[in-house]
Amino acid sequence: MKSLAIIPDGNRRYAKKHGLPLEVAYRDGFKKVGKAMEWARDYRVESMSFWALSLENFQNRSALELRTIFSLMQKQLAEAMVKEDQVNEQQAQVKFFGRTELLPKQLRESMAALERKTEGNKKLLLNVGVAYSGQDELVRASTLLAADMKAGKVDERALASDGGKIFSNYLFTKTAPDLIIRTGDVQRLSGFLPYQSAYSEYYFSRKLWPEFTRADFAKALEYYDGTQRRFGR
Protein backbone atom coordinates (compact mmCIF):
# COMPACT_ATOMS: atom_id res chain seq x y z
CA MET A 1 0.00 0.00 0.00
CA LYS A 2 1.31 3.43 -0.95
CA SER A 3 -1.28 5.84 0.41
CA LEU A 4 -3.48 5.83 3.51
CA ALA A 5 -6.02 8.31 4.87
CA ILE A 6 -7.48 8.44 8.36
CA ILE A 7 -10.60 10.14 9.70
CA PRO A 8 -9.80 10.15 13.44
CA ASP A 9 -13.31 10.34 14.89
CA GLY A 10 -14.37 9.97 18.52
CA ASN A 11 -12.38 12.43 20.63
CA ARG A 12 -15.41 14.04 22.24
CA ARG A 13 -17.10 10.68 22.91
CA TYR A 14 -13.82 9.46 24.40
CA ALA A 15 -13.88 12.41 26.81
CA LYS A 16 -17.49 11.66 27.82
CA LYS A 17 -16.85 7.91 28.15
CA HIS A 18 -13.89 8.39 30.48
CA GLY A 19 -15.09 11.53 32.27
CA LEU A 20 -12.21 13.58 30.89
CA PRO A 21 -11.95 17.26 29.99
CA LEU A 22 -12.10 17.86 26.25
CA GLU A 23 -8.56 19.21 26.31
CA VAL A 24 -7.25 15.87 27.62
CA ALA A 25 -9.19 13.91 25.00
CA TYR A 26 -7.91 16.06 22.15
CA ARG A 27 -4.38 15.86 23.54
CA ASP A 28 -4.59 12.06 23.55
CA GLY A 29 -5.90 12.22 20.00
CA PHE A 30 -2.99 14.37 18.83
CA LYS A 31 -0.53 11.97 20.44
CA LYS A 32 -2.15 9.09 18.56
CA VAL A 33 -1.31 10.79 15.27
CA GLY A 34 2.37 10.46 16.16
CA LYS A 35 1.86 6.77 16.89
CA ALA A 36 0.09 6.29 13.56
CA MET A 37 3.08 7.84 11.80
CA GLU A 38 5.32 5.19 13.37
CA TRP A 39 2.94 2.40 12.34
CA ALA A 40 2.75 3.74 8.79
CA ARG A 41 6.53 3.83 8.48
CA ASP A 42 6.78 0.26 9.80
CA TYR A 43 4.34 -0.87 7.09
CA ARG A 44 6.15 1.15 4.40
CA VAL A 45 3.23 3.47 3.74
CA GLU A 46 4.48 6.35 1.58
CA SER A 47 1.82 8.96 2.28
CA MET A 48 -0.78 9.43 4.99
CA SER A 49 -3.59 11.98 5.16
CA PHE A 50 -5.35 13.07 8.37
CA TRP A 51 -8.52 15.10 8.79
CA ALA A 52 -7.63 17.22 11.78
CA LEU A 53 -10.57 19.66 11.60
CA SER A 54 -13.46 19.87 9.16
CA LEU A 55 -14.71 23.18 7.82
CA GLU A 56 -18.11 22.37 9.33
CA ASN A 57 -16.51 21.82 12.75
CA PHE A 58 -14.66 25.09 12.37
CA GLN A 59 -17.93 26.88 11.65
CA ASN A 60 -20.13 25.10 14.21
CA ARG A 61 -18.00 24.22 17.25
CA SER A 62 -18.06 26.53 20.26
CA ALA A 63 -15.41 29.23 20.56
CA LEU A 64 -14.11 27.51 23.70
CA GLU A 65 -13.67 24.16 21.94
CA LEU A 66 -11.96 25.79 18.97
CA ARG A 67 -9.57 27.64 21.28
CA THR A 68 -8.73 24.32 22.90
CA ILE A 69 -8.07 22.68 19.54
CA PHE A 70 -6.01 25.60 18.24
CA SER A 71 -4.00 25.77 21.46
CA LEU A 72 -3.16 22.08 21.28
CA MET A 73 -2.31 22.34 17.58
CA GLN A 74 -0.03 25.27 18.32
CA LYS A 75 1.69 23.29 21.06
CA GLN A 76 2.15 20.27 18.80
CA LEU A 77 3.58 22.45 16.04
CA ALA A 78 5.97 24.10 18.48
CA GLU A 79 7.19 20.69 19.65
CA ALA A 80 7.58 19.56 16.04
CA MET A 81 9.93 22.47 15.41
CA VAL A 82 12.40 21.05 17.94
CA LYS A 83 15.35 19.41 16.19
CA GLU A 84 14.83 15.92 17.63
CA ASP A 85 11.08 15.84 17.11
CA GLN A 86 9.06 12.83 15.99
CA VAL A 87 8.27 14.29 12.57
CA ASN A 88 11.92 14.44 11.61
CA GLU A 89 12.69 11.12 13.28
CA GLN A 90 10.15 9.61 10.87
CA GLN A 91 11.57 11.68 7.99
CA ALA A 92 8.06 12.98 7.33
CA GLN A 93 7.27 15.86 5.03
CA VAL A 94 4.24 17.75 6.39
CA LYS A 95 1.72 19.57 4.23
CA PHE A 96 -1.48 21.25 5.41
CA PHE A 97 -4.55 21.62 3.20
CA GLY A 98 -7.98 23.20 3.50
CA ARG A 99 -9.24 26.72 4.16
CA THR A 100 -6.19 27.49 6.27
CA GLU A 101 -6.62 31.22 5.66
CA LEU A 102 -9.49 31.11 8.18
CA LEU A 103 -7.22 29.97 11.02
CA PRO A 104 -5.57 32.27 13.59
CA LYS A 105 -2.49 34.04 12.21
CA GLN A 106 -0.04 32.55 14.69
CA LEU A 107 -1.25 29.04 13.89
CA ARG A 108 -0.95 29.65 10.14
CA GLU A 109 2.59 30.92 10.57
CA SER A 110 3.56 27.86 12.63
CA MET A 111 2.05 25.56 10.02
CA ALA A 112 3.99 27.27 7.24
CA ALA A 113 7.20 27.07 9.29
CA LEU A 114 6.78 23.32 9.77
CA GLU A 115 6.12 22.83 6.05
CA ARG A 116 9.35 24.68 5.25
CA LYS A 117 11.31 22.73 7.85
CA THR A 118 10.19 19.32 6.62
CA GLU A 119 10.11 19.90 2.85
CA GLY A 120 13.32 17.91 2.39
CA ASN A 121 12.02 14.81 4.19
CA LYS A 122 11.21 11.97 1.82
CA LYS A 123 10.24 8.83 3.77
CA LEU A 124 6.62 9.75 4.52
CA LEU A 125 4.31 12.45 3.20
CA LEU A 126 1.93 13.60 5.94
CA ASN A 127 -1.07 15.58 4.63
CA VAL A 128 -3.15 17.27 7.33
CA GLY A 129 -6.60 18.65 6.51
CA VAL A 130 -7.55 21.68 8.62
CA ALA A 131 -10.78 23.64 8.08
CA TYR A 132 -11.34 21.23 5.19
CA SER A 133 -14.57 20.27 3.43
CA GLY A 134 -14.72 18.04 0.38
CA GLN A 135 -17.73 19.89 -1.03
CA ASP A 136 -15.97 23.21 -0.51
CA GLU A 137 -12.86 21.82 -2.23
CA LEU A 138 -14.86 20.77 -5.31
CA VAL A 139 -16.68 24.10 -5.55
CA ARG A 140 -13.39 25.98 -5.14
CA ALA A 141 -11.61 23.84 -7.73
CA SER A 142 -14.47 24.23 -10.24
CA THR A 143 -14.54 28.01 -9.74
CA LEU A 144 -10.78 28.34 -10.23
CA LEU A 145 -10.84 26.11 -13.31
CA ALA A 146 -13.73 28.07 -14.83
CA ALA A 147 -11.86 31.34 -14.24
CA ASP A 148 -8.73 29.98 -15.92
CA MET A 149 -10.77 28.72 -18.88
CA LYS A 150 -12.35 32.15 -19.26
CA ALA A 151 -8.90 33.73 -19.14
CA GLY A 152 -7.63 31.37 -21.81
CA LYS A 153 -5.21 29.59 -19.47
CA VAL A 154 -6.86 26.18 -19.98
CA ASP A 155 -7.48 24.73 -23.44
CA GLU A 156 -10.97 23.24 -23.80
CA ARG A 157 -9.64 20.48 -26.07
CA ALA A 158 -7.08 19.48 -23.45
CA LEU A 159 -9.81 19.49 -20.81
CA ALA A 160 -11.97 17.22 -22.97
CA SER A 161 -9.16 14.71 -23.49
CA ASP A 162 -7.62 14.72 -20.01
CA GLY A 163 -10.03 16.61 -17.78
CA GLY A 164 -9.41 14.51 -14.67
CA LYS A 165 -5.70 15.27 -14.60
CA ILE A 166 -6.26 18.97 -15.23
CA PHE A 167 -9.03 19.22 -12.63
CA SER A 168 -6.87 17.55 -9.98
CA ASN A 169 -4.40 20.44 -10.28
CA TYR A 170 -7.02 22.68 -8.69
CA LEU A 171 -7.65 20.49 -5.66
CA PHE A 172 -6.05 21.11 -2.27
CA THR A 173 -4.26 17.77 -2.51
CA LYS A 174 -3.76 15.29 -5.35
CA THR A 175 -3.04 12.35 -3.04
CA ALA A 176 -5.46 9.49 -3.80
CA PRO A 177 -5.62 7.10 -0.82
CA ASP A 178 -5.59 3.36 -1.39
CA LEU A 179 -7.35 2.89 1.97
CA ILE A 180 -9.40 5.22 4.17
CA ILE A 181 -9.76 4.31 7.84
CA ARG A 182 -12.47 5.93 9.94
CA THR A 183 -12.63 5.35 13.67
CA GLY A 184 -15.51 6.01 16.07
CA ASP A 185 -18.02 3.41 14.83
CA VAL A 186 -19.38 5.74 12.12
CA GLN A 187 -19.74 4.38 8.59
CA ARG A 188 -19.55 7.44 6.37
CA LEU A 189 -16.83 9.66 4.88
CA SER A 190 -18.51 12.98 5.79
CA GLY A 191 -17.07 14.63 2.69
CA PHE A 192 -13.41 13.70 3.16
CA LEU A 193 -11.49 13.65 -0.14
CA PRO A 194 -14.57 12.87 -2.29
CA TYR A 195 -12.75 13.26 -5.62
CA GLN A 196 -9.49 11.62 -4.55
CA SER A 197 -11.24 8.62 -2.95
CA ALA A 198 -13.07 7.45 -6.10
CA TYR A 199 -11.30 4.06 -5.98
CA SER A 200 -10.32 3.91 -2.32
CA GLU A 201 -11.15 1.01 -0.06
CA TYR A 202 -12.88 1.85 3.25
CA TYR A 203 -12.33 0.41 6.70
CA PHE A 204 -14.54 1.44 9.63
CA SER A 205 -13.35 0.78 13.17
CA ARG A 206 -15.57 0.78 16.25
CA LYS A 207 -12.70 2.12 18.33
CA LEU A 208 -12.73 5.79 19.32
CA TRP A 209 -9.65 7.49 17.91
CA PRO A 210 -7.66 7.86 21.17
CA GLU A 211 -8.31 4.12 21.82
CA PHE A 212 -7.13 3.01 18.36
CA THR A 213 -4.13 0.69 18.67
CA ARG A 214 -1.36 -0.72 16.53
CA ALA A 215 -3.30 -4.01 16.40
CA ASP A 216 -6.33 -2.12 15.05
CA PHE A 217 -4.12 -0.45 12.47
CA ALA A 218 -2.71 -3.83 11.41
CA LYS A 219 -6.23 -5.26 11.13
CA ALA A 220 -7.22 -2.43 8.77
CA LEU A 221 -4.22 -3.10 6.55
CA GLU A 222 -4.95 -6.83 6.59
CA TYR A 223 -8.47 -6.04 5.41
CA TYR A 224 -7.01 -3.97 2.56
CA ASP A 225 -4.63 -6.75 1.59
CA GLY A 226 -7.62 -9.06 1.24
CA THR A 227 -9.53 -6.80 -1.15
CA GLN A 228 -9.46 -7.06 -4.93
CA ARG A 229 -9.23 -3.59 -6.43
CA ARG A 230 -10.77 -3.26 -9.90
CA PHE A 231 -10.51 0.51 -10.60
CA GLY A 232 -13.74 0.45 -12.60
CA ARG A 233 -12.83 -2.63 -14.63
Catalytic residues: 9, 57
Query: Could you tell me whether strands 47-54 and 3-7 are parallel, antiparallel, or unpaired per DSSP bridges?
Result: parallel
176 φ, ψ (degrees, to nearest 5)? -105, 110
111 φ, ψ (degrees, to nearest 5)? -65, -45
Answer yes or no: are the C-beta atoms of 67 and 104 closer than 8 Å.
no
Between CA 165 and CA 219 the distance in angstroms is 33
Answer yes or no: are the C-beta atoms of 178 and 1 closer than 8 Å.
yes
Residues counted in the chain? 233
Between CA 202 and CA 179 the distance in angstroms is 6
